């Protein structure tokens, strides 16, 4: 939301249970449904793996994965562990479960760097 606001967007949150997108941005007169993802998972080549499919959350997974479909949202906003960010049109995504960022494939959609985010402590098992 911070980056969108810096771009002059008005940002709203959808109501209801399990919407297909995390926020709505009114950017330059265009309403965009935005899905937000974060990742700290590095591949062996040093790129970030970002999961697109949703398997629930907060202990609510019912065993059904929701794979990426471009019609569910307009843009994908991604923040990775080192603070790099991407704002990718859904129509440009050629995967259904995960993408890798940091290489050349989605480089044109990388936007200004944000703050890195810290590791979340793991709870004892």
Q: What is the mean pLDDT of residues 61-67?
A: 60
- Separation between Cα atoms, residue 88 and residue 63, nearest integer Å: 28
Q: Please report, rounded to a whole number, the percentage of residues in the chain having pLDDT higher than 70.
A: 82
- Provide the mean pLDDT of the chain: 86
Residue 17, pLDDT above cutoff 90: no
Which pairs from 61-64 meet CB under 8 Å and 24+ separation?
A: none
- Separation between Cα atoms, residue 20 and residue 31, nearest integer Å: 15
Q: What is the mean pLDDT of residues 46-53?
A: 92
What's the pTM value of the predicted model, to 2 decimals?
A: 0.84
Please provide the CATH number assigned to the domain covering 35-111: 3.40.1350.140
Q: What is the mean pLDDT of residues 40-69?
A: 76
Q: Indicate the pLDDT class of residue 24, thresholds 50, 70 and 90.
A: very high
């Amino acid at each position: 939301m911070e980056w969108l606001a810096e771009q002059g967007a008005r940002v709203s949150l959808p109501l209801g249970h399990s919407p297909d997108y995390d926020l709505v941005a009114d950017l330059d007169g265009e309403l965009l449904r935005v899905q937000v993802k974060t990742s700290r998972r590095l591949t062996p080549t040093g790129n970030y793996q970002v999961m697109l499919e949703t398997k629930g959350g907060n202990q609510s997974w019912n065993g059904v994965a929701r794979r990426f479909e471009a019609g569910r949202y307009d843009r994908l906003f991604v923040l990775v562990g080192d603070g790099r960010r991407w704002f990718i049109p859904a129509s440009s995504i050629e995967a259904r479960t995960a993408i890798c960022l940091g290489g050349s494939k989605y480089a044109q959609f990388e936007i200004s760097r944000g703050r890195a985010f810290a590791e979340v402590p793991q709870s004892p098992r």
